[in-house]
Each structure stands twice: as structure tokens, then as C-alpha cells.
Amino acid sequence: MWFKLTNDKAYLFGPHTPTELAWLRAFLTFGDVEADKDPNAKEQVSLFNVFDQSFPVGMLDLVKREARKAKPPVKIEVADTRVVPCQRVSFEEVAQQLALNEVELRPYQVDALEAAIKAKRGVLQLPTGAGKTNIAVALMLSLPCRWLFLVDSADLVKQGAERYRKLTGRDCGMIAEGKFTTGDIVFATFQSVHSKLETPAMRTYLQGVQGVLVDECHTVAATTFYDVLGHLPNAYYRTGLSATPLSRLDRKSILTIARLGSVVFKMTPGELAALGYIAEPRVTLLEVHQAGAWGLHYSVFRERYVVKSRRRNAAVLEGVTLMAKPGLVFFKEEEHGHMLTKLIREELGLSCEMVWGDKSTAQREAAVKKLERRDIDIIVCSSVFTKGVDIPFLMGGVNAAGGKSVIDTLQRIGRGLRLSDGKRFFDWIDIADTGHKWLADHTADREATYKLAGYATKRVPSLKAQAIPDFDAKKGKERLTSASQVKWSSGGLDDLET
């Protein structure tokens, strides 16, 4: 089978057998997870375009690999029509440029940079604290063409542009929050680019892009993000950055590969911690047993056995007392956040502030400043703190949100991995639910994620949770109805009033 390559697609041309075509189409088809929830959704999604006989060029390496395994093997030939847009600048010159701003790439950053340059397209899998932006800037300096750096939030645009200016002393363009300034280097949100996708100015700009970088590239599977990357016909270089590039639960990680290519460099958080570049997480799974009732809608189940569970919330408070301060406590439901904030203040006597989606960037930054000054001990936060927030001085955290997402799990714990003076370890407490299959399975998924990342974990029973009677599923009520019935002393549960 022969394929003609462009920067965006691989086109099938020349002679091929029906068997070979059937194999290719089958390989490029995957199950649609939406079909599990929506009877009107397609059961299968194909990356093979039957009209122009093409597929996203990022899939080419996987197609070649699987073709060799096919029975009989399928021979793949390629005609590459792409034009290399620039010549590489030597590493010595790039290192000198960075040294002017007192930056020296770490050995693994050099390896990641070389892998990206050699592959021309692909994903760099690096944990929080690895210095992904430094690698990205070095890549843009090494390959001096017209680059577009795409992210999914205006905060990340500002952070990336600021870092680029600091490391290079050069200006850059921005497409975000109503701004549309272009140049050789542009930082932009997917949303802002997509909103102007049909305008002549945006079309002209995207035609001229020769290299694209995508931070938090696991987001590429979103329909609008995937669409944006399909409008870059001259983007020869394509590189994704993420700690969790292929860890989506909806089977759509394949779309990240389709647009950007396979993982070409990988380093786990455990490996980075062993080298002393990030803090070493000490993960404690605090066990809470609840014999949950079946037959409930999931939202009702979450409300009863997570948000309003006296036993589970007692374990959260125990985790708060165990972790080093200052720290974060993660929640999912806003009601749960308000409840935990109140309990931490009233039951533990600690100062805290709640931050969630309704808070502006300025308000979030103000809360972090208070935490740094130790005006407060804890920030109780939602998913708005899972990315784009650097808190090097953070010493501990509690996951009260539960869940099974690999991406959410690693992004939450990632908030505390950056080093600061005197910091070597980071205390992470995860509420380990047992008893009910839903919660227990989610706990097992998170525990597996920690181990896969290279983190040492230990399970211990929550003594404070054990002091509170479990929910009585048959009677439909708790035997203990108020957290105030539990006495706290020195940040812990002392006894139980009946």
C-alpha cells in the first residue's frame, strides 16, 4: 500500500488489494464510548475518510507497526511531499541563548528536546514540575519557524507568553481574551482560535503556521480542539506536552495521536523525584468503609455517600490533620466544598478559603498569596486548581473528590510536586472508599494510577471514620446525624456522643 504524506493527512494512492483496504479501515475504527450512554450515538468512529481515501498522518507510525503484525503482513510505502520549513539551530547556540537568562536545560530536558526534533511530530510525556515550557521554548529556538503554542485557558496563555519573553528577551503574539496579535511566535487558546476560524484573518494566519505546540495535549480530543488542529495545512512540526497524554477514560486518546503523533519521550513522576527534580510524594490511602445501597442514581449516590457522608467527611478532616501545611483539599461538588470549608474552620480551628469556578483568576491568585504568607492554612478547591497553578511551597493535600480519572488524579497531586527551599516531600492523603463497589472500584483505579506513576503508597484505616456509625441502608438514614456530635481535640476526633 502506498501513501502520500501531507502535513495533515496520509492519502492512499496506487494499487492495493481489497483485503489490505479492509484491514486499514478496520484498524482505524474504534468504539464510541458515547454509544454506551446515548442510543443515537454512533457505535463506531472511523479515522479513515472514505471520500478522499485518507487518515490523519499522526496515525502513520501505528499503521506501519500494526501492518507488520498483520496476517499476512501488509507492506507500507510512503511518498513524503512535505517541505521542511527551516534548518535547525545548533544546541550550543540555543544553550547560549538560554544561558543569557540564567537557564540551563536539565539532562532529561535535553533528551526530550532531541526526541521532539528527531521525530518532527509526537508527544512528550512529562510530569508536573518537569519544566515543559522550558523544553517548548528551547524547541522553538532550535527550529526557528512560525510557531503556534496552543493551550486551553487564558491563564496558560499568559503564563506561557511571560515565560517565553523571560527566557528569550523577545516579544510574542497572543490570541486570547479578545486579543489577536500575530508574529513568528504566538500563544493562543483553542477557544479563541476556533471562534474566529471562519474569518479571513484567522484563515490566513493559520495557513502560515509551520509548527504547532500543544500544552495539556490530552484535551485535543475535544471536538473544537481537534477541529483547530485540522486547519494547519503547513504545520510541519507538531509536538504535544502532557503528564497524561493518553489517559482519557472515553477511548478518545487516539485522537491526540491522530493530530500530533505517538509518544516519543516519556518520564514518570517517580523517575523525576528519584533524580531530585520534584518533591517525593508520600501517598496515604485513608480507608473508609461504607455499605452503600444499590439502585440509586449516581448523583444521589454521590450526595449520600460522598458529599453528606458524616463518616467519609470525618476521614477528610483526619486527612487534613495528618498532612503538612499549607495544603489543598480537593472537592468535586460545590456543596461539598462549602461543607468542608465550614467543618475545617469549626471542627479543626484552621483558617481556610474556598476557591471554585465562580472565582476569578485574580481571586484565585489572591488566595494563593494568602496561603504563601500563611494568612490561611488551607485552600479548599475544585478542578480550577488542577492545572496552570504553581504552588512550590505547598506541603500537603487531600483528595476528598474521589473519582477514577487518571488525568484528574495526577493533576491534583501534581500541584504539590514543585520544589521550594527545604522541601523534599509532599504529603498526599486520598480517601480510600471500601464497601460499595462503585466507590471501591474508583479507589482501586486511583491507587493503580499512583503506582503506575512510581509513587509509594500505603493504606491505613481511618480511625476517626470508624468512630461514626455507617449509613443504615435499610432504614434510609444515618444513626449519627450531625458532625457536631463528634468531639475534636488537638485537630482530632476524641469521642462519640450517643
Residue 56 DSSP SS3 = strand
Is residue 108 scored above 60 in pLDDT? Answer: yes
**Whole-number Å distance between alpha carbons of 356 and 351:** 17
What is residue 14's predicted lDDT score, i.e. its pLDDT?
A: 85
What is residue 453's predicted lDDT score, i.e. its pLDDT?
A: 87
Cβ burial 153-189 (10 Å sphere, 16+ → b, else e):
bbbbbbbbbebbeebbeeebbbbbeeebebeebbbbb
| 230-250 average pLDDT score | 90
Q: What is the pLDDT of residues 166-219, one digit of tens each?
A: 999 999 999 999 999 999 999 999 999 999 999 999 999 999 999 999 999 999
| 262-266 average pLDDT score | 96
Higher pLDDT, 253 or 23: 23
Q: Retrieve residue 261's grid coordinates.
A: 503523533
What share of the chain has pLDDT > 90, as a percent? Answer: 75
**Whole-number Å distance between alpha carbons of 32 and 35:** 6
Distances (CA, A) of 257 to 57, 239, 252, 253, 310: 9, 10, 10, 7, 44
What is residue 299's predicted lDDT score, i.e. its pLDDT?
A: 85
What is residue 244's predicted lDDT score, i.e. its pLDDT?
A: 85
What backbone torsions phi and psi does residue 318 show, to the nearest 5 degrees? -65, -40
Residue 477 DSSP SS3 = strand
| 118-140 average pLDDT score | 95
Lowest mean pLDDT among 48-57, 190-199, 287-296, 346-355: 287-296
Q: CA nearest 485: which of 474, 469, 473?
A: 469
What is residue 407's predicted lDDT score, i.e. its pLDDT?
A: 87
Is residue 428 scored above 50 in pLDDT? Answer: yes
Q: CA nearest 419: which of 104, 127, 98, 108?
A: 127
Mean pLDDT score across all residues of the chain: 89
Q: 497: which residues sit within 8 A by CB, 6+ positions away?
A: 485, 486, 487
Is residue 496 scored above 50 in pLDDT? Answer: no
Surface-to-core class of residue 103, CB atoms within 10 Å of its CB (0-12 exposed, 13-18 middle, 19+ buried): middle
Is residue 41 scored above 60 in pLDDT? Answer: no
Element (H, E) at 186: strand 185-189
What is residue 483's predicted lDDT score, i.e. its pLDDT?
A: 38
pLDDT band at 495 (very low <50, low <70, confident <90, very high): very low
Higher pLDDT, 34 or 272: 272
Count Cβ atoms below 10 Å from residue 43 Cβ, excluding itself: 10
What is residue 293's predicted lDDT score, i.e. its pLDDT?
A: 67
pLDDT band at 497 (very low <50, low <70, confident <90, very high): very low
Cβ burial 452-464 (10 Å sphere, 16+ → b, else e):
ebbbebeeeebeb
pLDDT band at 94 (very low <50, low <70, confident <90, very high): very high
What is the pTM for the complete model shown?
0.84
Is residue 498 scored above 60 in pLDDT? Answer: no
| 448-455 average pLDDT score | 90
Q: CA nearest 313: which of 343, 283, 348, 290?
A: 343
Surface-to-core class of residue 223, CB atoms within 10 Å of its CB (0-12 exposed, 13-18 middle, 19+ buried): exposed
Count Cβ atoms below 10 Å from residue 31 Cβ, excluding itself: 12
| 314-320 average pLDDT score | 97
Is residue 117 scored above 90 in pLDDT? Answer: yes
What share of the chain has pLDDT > 70, as a percent? Answer: 90
Is residue 374 scored above 70 in pLDDT? Answer: yes
The DSSP-derived string for 285-335 is EEEEE--PPSS--HHHHHIIIIIS-HHHHHHHHHHHHHS-SSEEEE-SSHH
Helix ranges, 120-199 (H): 132-142, 154-168, 190-195
What is residue 480's predicted lDDT score, i.e. its pLDDT?
A: 38
Element (H, E) at 339: helix 334-348
Q: CA nearest 132: which of 96, 172, 163, 166?
A: 163
Is residue 490 scored above 50 in pLDDT? Answer: no
What is residue 292's predicted lDDT score, i.e. its pLDDT?
A: 66
| 84-95 average pLDDT score | 96
What is residue 35's predicted lDDT score, i.e. its pLDDT?
A: 44
What is residue 249's predicted lDDT score, i.e. its pLDDT?
A: 62
